[in-house]
């Protein structure tokens, strides 16, 4: 796979003329959004002051107005930026993916299926709302891989019986073929307990997690500091998580700069990188020509596709049964 530096060169040489045109379009779009937002605010405030006696007697009206204003701004933003976002993905993200590997398929409107999300067993709750975008799929070194942004939510009720949605996960979800069909189910999660409460209390909390399988203690101190492992089979978990693989996962976590979870289920490895944003959506309020912005897109793609090399998934360490 091509290095970060080569992809950066491609971004700033081959794609730069297109980027300059898109950035001018972005500036015009930003101006329109700001003007519309200001006009709506002036109109709304004028309307409120026209009925100020009624409004001041009913404070909930102000809350309703503010909520409506924010919601309407979000809708208008989405409508106005739809065409620009599509153009950015087709003319910038698509060529970047093809530059990494021209056999990969990029489908912006699709996403990894909920079957994979639920099958991973990374998340204890099954989503009632499940959406996403920016699906990338294909083979890297002969290994099947697919990933996309995912937004999974669980419906819940508040104390006054109103419905609300809790976010289960928002970020990048990766599915890749591994080289063994596992009988066991092994899940690797961020070690929140020991980091928050220390080794003794944290270990007790981990060991008594009734919602998970059996706790597996690993012999890699750096890995143990970052992650906690649960599995239905202690022996197979250690067989899967070799010293080399544990070190690769630690390095992968450092590279992602976001909390990550993994699982090994039925011959696949699942990786969830929590970022709480869409990975490939262009912001109207930030220039596409800035180096930092460019590197966000490049690093995300390189990290996601580079999992094959990072975790050595193409090495036939085991034969599939």
CA distances (Å), origin 72, targets 38, 40, 67, 163, 259 = 12, 9, 9, 21, 32
- Does residue 202 surpass a pLDDT of 70? no
CA distances (Å), origin 52, targets 58, 64, 232 = 10, 15, 64
Tell me the three state secondary structure of residue 302: helix
Interatomic CA distance for residues 38 and 278, integer angstroms: 26
pLDDT for the residue numbered 197: 40
pLDDT for the residue numbered 284: 92
The stretch 204-229 carries a mean pLDDT of: 78
In this structure, are strands 186-190 and 214-216 parallel, antiparallel, or unpaired?
unpaired
The stretch 66-82 carries a mean pLDDT of: 91
Interatomic CA distance for residues 233 and 213, integer angstroms: 9
Using pLDDT thresholds of 50, 70 and 90, give the confidence band for residue 4. confident
Average pLDDT, the chain: 85
Interatomic CA distance for residues 56 and 50, integer angstroms: 11
| Neighbour-count burial of 316, counting CB atoms closer than 10 A to its CB (0-12 exposed, 13-18 middle, 19+ buried) | exposed
- Does residue 198 surpass a pLDDT of 50? no
Other C-beta atoms lying within 10 Å of the C-beta of residue 275: 16
- Does residue 58 surpass a pLDDT of 80? no
pLDDT for the residue numbered 272: 95
Using pLDDT thresholds of 50, 70 and 90, give the confidence band for residue 26. very high
Using pLDDT thresholds of 50, 70 and 90, give the confidence band for residue 207. low
Other C-beta atoms lying within 10 Å of the C-beta of residue 28: 12
């Amino acid at each position: 796979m091509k290095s970060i530096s080569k992809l950066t060169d491609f971004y700033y040489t081959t794609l730069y003329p297109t980027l300059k045109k898109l950035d001018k379009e972005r500036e015009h779009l930003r101006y329109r959004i700001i003007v519309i937002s200001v006009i709506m605010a002036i109109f709304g405030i004028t309307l409120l002051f026209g009925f100020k006696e009624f409004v001041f007697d009913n404070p909930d009206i102000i809350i309703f107005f503010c909520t409506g204003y924010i919601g309407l701004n979000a809708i208008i933003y989405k409508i106005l930026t739809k065409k620009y976002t599509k153009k950015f993905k087709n003319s910038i993200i698509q060529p970047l993916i093809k530059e990494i590997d021209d056999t990969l398929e990029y489908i912006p409107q699709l996403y990894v299926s909920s079957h994979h999300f639920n099958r991973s067993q990374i998340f204890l709750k099954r989503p009632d709302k499940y959406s996403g975008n920016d699906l990338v799929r294909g083979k890297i070194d002969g290994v099947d891989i697919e990933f996309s942004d995912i937004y999974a939510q669980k419906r819940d009720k508040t104390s006054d019986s109103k419905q609300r949605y809790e976010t289960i996960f928002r970020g990048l979800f990766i599915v890749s073929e591994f080289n063994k069909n596992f009988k066991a189910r092994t899940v690797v999660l961020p070690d929140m307990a020991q980091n928050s409460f220390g080794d003794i209390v944290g270990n007790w909390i981990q060991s008594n997690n009734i919602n998970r399988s059996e706790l597996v203690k690993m012999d890699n101190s750096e890995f143990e500091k970052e992650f906690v492992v649960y599995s239905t089979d202690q022996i197979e978990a250690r067989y899967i998580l070799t010293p080399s693989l544990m070190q690769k996962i630690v390095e992968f976590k450092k590279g992602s700069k976001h909390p990550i979870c993994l699982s090994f289920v039925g011959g696949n490895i699942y990786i969830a990188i929590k970022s709480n944003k869409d990975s490939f959506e262009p912001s109207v309020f930030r220039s596409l020509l800035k180096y930092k912005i460019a590197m966000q897109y490049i690093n995300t793609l390189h990290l996601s596709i580079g999992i094959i090399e990072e975790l050595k998934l193409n090495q036939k360490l085991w034969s599939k049964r």
